[in-house]
Structure 1
Amino acid sequence: MRASRLVTLLLLLQNRGRMTAQQLAEELEVSVRTVYRDVEALAAAGIPLYGAAGHAGGYRLVDGYRTRLTGLTTDEAQAAFLAALPGTAAELGLGEALAAAQLKLRAALPAELRAHAGRIQERFLLDAPGWYGDADRSPHLAPVAAAVWARRAALLRYRRWRAPEEIERRVEPYGLVLKAGRWYVVAGGPSGIRTYRVDRILGFRPLEEFVVPDGFDLAGYWNTYLAGFRARLHTGEALVRLTPEGARRLGVAPVSDGWAEARVPIESIDHAHGEFLRMGTDIEVLAPAELRDRIAATVRTLARSYGS
């Protein structure tokens, strides 16, 4: 346990530069006294680090010192190679960089961990897009990614669902998100923070640099956005009767035999009409009346079409 903590402490100093004992203690979730002992142990092992007292003090490594990644555990090495998505990196123009980084990482690993990493790539493949949807083929993904990286605002032309369908506005791209094979850019604009599908971008012209607002967290924003999206998605409710198989498919309380009634959230009459028809005879809609009538009319039309 301590060996792992010592490696983590060393990597923290290598990646972040000078850090105080208090900062290291918070990162490592140990006491400041423990940090002092760990620093002494590293120094005794020949690691070139030094500390300075005072307001601007702290510990740091001698300039130019780098450690090899021999502190990686087997699980950590496997995760590093499993987490890499070659297709995603290529879309962002980083395919060659990813390949080079993996070669360097593999070279830095001990022989046993190199073998584990190789087996991961032989046996696991991460394919982000869904079955029934193609991944983005947007010519503007690379420019958007470059603007996100360089913190440059942009003049955006965008095609949306509602009128006016085509809009143009100045935006400040804060980050990119890949969700189910589609890229989304989170950007600040005249109406606050908005989310745009990259494949709907018609034009993207970089402008001046900008500063991201203090406290903005991309992951936190995205989680809030998804929660709001789901809340807006299911705005209605339907009363249905289900067979045991129907209950299983809708994820409601199962029934051992016979039919059971349940109330399920629906996005809209149109959406529920299509979704419930796919369930065939495992579901009967009782309410709302408009949805029941729509499904009954469709069933009658189908019966006429397939009649002898």
Structure 2
Amino acid sequence: MHATIHLLRKTDFPLIRRRRLQSLQVNLGYRCNQSCQHCHVAAGPNRTEMMDADNAALVASLLRSGRIATLDLTGGAPELSPHFRDLVHVARASGVRVIDRCNLTILFEPGQDDLAPFLAAQGVDVVASLPCYTEDNVDTQRGGGVFEKSINALQWLNRLGYGQPDSDLSLDLVYNPLGPMLPPPQDKLQADYKCLLGERFGIVFDRLLTIANMPIQRFGSMLVSKGQFDGYMQTLHAAHRSENLDGVMCRDLISVDWQGYLHDCDFNQMLGLPLGAADARHPRPHLRELLAEPDGFCGRPIAIADHCYGCTAGQGSSCGGALESAHAGAQAVA
């Protein structure tokens, strides 16, 4: 509670506005087969919040509208939703790229035996969480036995073609720091991951995405309990870089919660901050309002709070990894 109150006080984070909508990030529910320490959703096996059929149908309508380039499915474990596969089918049939934010161990849960082949057959991009390349660190952060299952899952995905140099099946890994510190340089850590995972387990993948831990929900509560919350916030403030503002994910993404309400990002969703485009008529914008807004709220302000510094600190951080690396890639292409 203390963390949430602190974050929602008046902030001096710079004002930013939306660009044209590109990505719809849909949280299908908070149920998960894991309970990770760094989870900003506080997901777990006992969570019951799951998107219903009516809201899933509204998502499908948006996908068919031709206004969305990327469907980003998250949770919890999004694959546990009864609507996960239907939404994948609709998106791919509509020419929409699909990202599955996968915790890897879900591939071995009962009833998910055909999940990996399904993802490959549909051409779904897999973004898989692997917070370290050592067993002790992963199991400490995510639970006993998670590392071994994750390695087995990655090897399975590799056999299906994921991450292979001659394949269109994209496999990215996600790194989160173990504690209240910023991620190390993404490019260097990616090289270490590729070397060690390749040598020890024969695993290949496309990119490593380094994401800063957000001081909210389970991770925020842990910081408060250890007396580290204020120190971490000072770290984020001190490392703010204004050049990262152009690349933050909320500029062209809308986050949808399990009830169909709209937020500027997944982190705002967890803090209960509605879309910055909210007004007196629609104080909590919903998928219904997005369907009626052909411009996707372009030009509207984005809801900000102190946790936003987590996305602009140091090399920057977004659902697509370090913003610094993204800037470098864009310059290279140009």
Give TM class, smaller chain. Answer: under 0.3
- Is the helix fraction higher in 1 or 2? 1
TM value normalised by structure 2: 0.23
The higher radius of gyration belongs to: 1
- Is the strand fraction higher in 1 or 2? 1
Return the structure number with greater relative CO, CA threshold 8 A, min gap 6: 2
